[in-house]
Structure 1
Amino acid sequence: MAKKPGFRTLGDVVEWWLSRIEGDRTRSEKYRASMACLMRKHVLPRVGKVALRKVDRVTLDDQLVFPMHQELAPRTVQKALQGLRQAFAMAETQKRMDSNPLAGTTFRDFYKGKLRPKPAALSRVDLAELVQHLVSVFNAEPAKGMLPLMMLAHGTRIAETLGARWGHVSLDERVWVIPEANTKSRREHVLPLTTQVLGLLRRYRAALPDARLKTAWLFPVRGGAGMALTSGHALMREVSGRQWTSHDLRKLMRSSLADIGVDHMVGELLINHALGVTTETYLTRDAMDRRREALERWHARLDECGFADAHGQKVAVPALLKNDCKPEAAGDSAVSGISTWGG
């Protein structure tokens, strides 16, 4: 295979590609970190020194794919191969090599079994106990319990939740705006704020130390910076006792929505999954109203499990609303004349 000066081995291509994606802010921090770890820990030690002229499917199978299958889950092997394909494709596109030895190669060339999704660690039957546990953590240490409660309440990803600022929360509009730069889909995501969550935010803000109130971040750490993703995962491990992850909270929220009568498409909108241009166009006109009603139902369901002990609001909303019913709030109003929380 003809090659350009500079690339002599498979490792040269991979290291060059990693140097590009590690500085690419259009990719999530989680993707960049996990791919760099995977390639440097598992791929480069096995095939990094293979000369480019010797790179083919047989070499990959013998020295990389088959050995990795003996130690790692199929999806991890698949991700490693995807990284290699992306590295070689980018090099070819930029004319850094004359031909791509991995062109047309797929994971199915090496693996014929079923790729099963990782089973969820939390199910609907765990909801009541989970809510009570998170509420007790929040009441004891609000700075520790707020992150998992916000994720369970909205089904957001941990990275986009940690990226929240007080300026993203509008009291006048009663919405939480997640900027496109913080979302996996790279499009702005707007979530209605229910009476329950507004009450939770007030209690949480009142409990923060004065030094952390001066920062713009919703989840600040000592010194004023926003909590890092690694710290967020460490917090989740501590709160869960390593029994579940942040993504399990998102899965549980999504799977529970059908139980309380939320339409499938509205549920997908809430967790910011793409539905396709036609479907999203159809839902645009009343999408926010439907999202708000769905979250009011969901948070009413959480109230049945003890959520009210964290937010302190009285909300007269049954979880299973009839289609023609409108939720009504009782007790303290969530409406405020202040446009945002500031910061």
Structure 2
Amino acid sequence: MTKKLVENLGAGRHGDGNGLYLVVDPSGARRWIVRVVVKGQKNKKGAPLRTDFGLGGADVVTINQARERALEYRRMAKQGLNPRFNVRQVMPTFQEVAQQVHIDRLPTWKNAKHGQQWINTLRDYAFPKIGRMPVDSVNQPEVLMCLAPIWTEKHETAKRLAQRIKTVLDVARSKGFRVGENPVTAIKDAQVLPKVKAKPKHHGAMHWKDIPAFYADLRPRKAMAAKALMFTCLTGSRTTEVLGLRWEEISFDERLWICPPERMKMGEEHRVPLTDEMFEIIEPMKAMGSEFVFEGQKRHQPLSNMSMLMLLRRMGIEGVTVHGFRSTFRDWASEVANVRREVAEKSLAHSVGSDVERAYARSDLLEKRRDLIERWSRHVAGASGGSEGA
């Protein structure tokens, strides 16, 4: 086996010889194992004891290192020593443990992007300083080396970095590589780092009074980004929810868009009432025969995440983001429609109330939200939205 093969072989178990194998998971994760027969030892059925032992991930253990470790395991097995209990434990580095944690948690990430962001934060801010250190040597001074330089300038990033370092060190402790308190917890409890008052960053939003004129400017535009932006303004939905909309999610009979849990930020199904104005946008696009309602340049692929924002810039709309239209809708719902808070919040797929309150209030207030969206749709399209309560 060669280094190139190690990097490119597909899913399965691939032999290097002498009991050494490269195992490639369907996810693409790669790890080394060695199969040995322990001399003089029998399994429960009385047959020679044949066992597979992990040698580490192929991203951190080179093929030559794997061969050396496999040779050490075979020598012990020939002497009648079970490698599980007799192999000399090699202390992994912080980077090795972090990369293994990332691999182990791949199936749990909400999407591939989130998983990549998790490891990228460590790659950019932790690995250059403590990545090569044995994981049992990482203590408060080493953690501070990573956090202190960005604690005030990039506070949100620093907080995420601290949480991810803590996770890696917790896993290392659970595997027997560390003892004692997690240094990240100790730093937090001792308030070693200064308090930072994070200034909330609000998405630039258009005033609700300006929406009708803006929408009128959008209406004659033929670009798919314009249609998606119109639909986004009307529904108050997030960019990823709109761009990922598939025809199968729309119920024309019930006049509903049912967005599945896996595409929602809160991980819960969200029903969006559809209005005549919304149908006027999407129905002509059925003829395209695409899987996605708002198809991009590639067949059966959605528009890019930046398409609507770039359209705003081409229109000369500065200081406004696509996400900001959710705030525009929310302001209008309070100031003009005068609806109950929970109706407006559920229209935006926000959680309302405490865990106990949500446990009892299971209704998504669909009919009240339908009335609210109808009125909003009329306002956006240039008609009166009304001001009575809901």
Match of 1:214 among 279, 282, 289: 289
Q: Does structure 1 conserve the Cα–Cα contact (< 8 Å) formed by 2:247 and 2:292?
A: yes
- Describe the shift of the 1:270–1:149 C-alpha distance in structure 2 as closer, same or farther (beyond 3 A): same
Q: Confirm or deny that 1:168 pairs with 2:252.
A: no
Q: 2:249·2:259 contact (CA, 8 Å) conserved in 1?
A: yes
Q: In 2, Cα distance between the equivalents of 1:264 and 1:130?
A: 22
Deviations 1:158-206 (A, max 9, x none): 2222221111111110110001111122221111112222222235x27
1:240 pairs with 2:307: no
Q: What is the aligned counterpart of 1:59 among 142, 153, 160? A: 142
1:50 corresponds to 2:133: yes
SS of equivalent residue, structure 1 residue 156: coil
Normalized per residue, the structure richer in helix is: 1
Query: What is the number of equivalent residue pairs in this alignment?
Result: 294
Task: Give the structure 2 partner of residue 294 of structure 1.
Answer: 372
Matched residues in 2 for 1:106 and 1:153: separation? 47
Aligned match of 2:195: 112
Q: Does 1:199 align with 2:199?
A: no
1-side partners of 2:308 and 2:89: how far apart? Answer: 47
TM-score normalised to the size of structure 1?
Answer: 0.73
The gaps in structure 2 that reach 5 residues or longer are 1-87
Q: Which of 245, 253, 270 is equivalent to 1:189?
A: 270
- Say whether the 8 Å CA contact 2:232–2:238 is kept in structure 1: yes
Is 1:264 the counterpart of 2:341? The answer is yes
Do the aligned partners of residues 64 and 157 (structure 1) sit closer, same or farther apart at CA in structure 2, a change above 3 Å counting? same
Where do 1:1-343 residues align within 5 Å?
8-21=92-105, 23-24=106-107, 26-61=109-144, 63-69=145-151, 72-92=153-173, 95=175, 97-99=177-179, 101-102=182-183, 104-105=185-186, 109-124=192-207, 127-129=208-210, 132-133=213-214, 135-203=216-284, 205=285, 213-227=288-302, 231-232=304-305, 234-241=306-313, 243-259=319-335, 260-275=337-352, 276-280=354-358, 283-285=361-363, 287-304=365-382, 318-323=385-390
TM-score (norm 2): 0.65
Residue by residue, what CA displacement relative to the aligned partner does 1:279-338 show, whole Å, maximum 9, x if unpaired? 34554457111211221232233234xxxxxxxxxxx76331355xxxxxxxxxxxxxxx
Q: Secondary structure at the match of 1:220?
A: coil
Contact persistence 2:99–2:119 (CA under 8 A): no
Task: Tell me which amino acid in the other structure corresponds to 1:262.
Answer: V
Higher strand share: 2
Question: 1 CA distance for matches of 2:320 and 2:168?
Answer: 33
Q: Which has the higher contact order (CA 8 A, sep 6+)?
A: 1
Q: Conserved in 2, the CA contact under 8 Å of 1:148 and 1:249? A: no
- What amino acid is aligned across from residue 240 of structure 1 in structure 2? L
Task: Please identify, of 49-58 and 261-270, the stretch whose mean Cα deviation from structure 2 is larger.
Answer: 49-58
Question: Aligned pair in 2 of structure 1 residues 268, 7: CA closer, same or farther (>3 Å)?
Answer: farther
Distance 2:155 2:245 in 1: 34
1:237 maps to amino acid: L
In the alignment, the residues of structure 2 paired with residue 53 and residue 86 of structure 1 have an alpha-carbon distance, to the nearest angstrom, of 14
Letter in 1 for 2:300: A
Q: Paired residue for 1:334?
A: none
Q: Kindly state the Cα deviation for residue 274 of structure 1 after the two structures are TM-superposed.
A: 2.2
Write the distance in 2 (CA, Å) between the matches of 1:102 and 1:131.
Answer: 55
SS at match of 2:240: helix
**Structure 1 residue 261: Cα displacement:** 0.9
SS of residue paired to 2:107: coil
What is the one-letter code of the residue matched to 1:168?
E
> Bigger radius of gyration, 1 or 2?
2
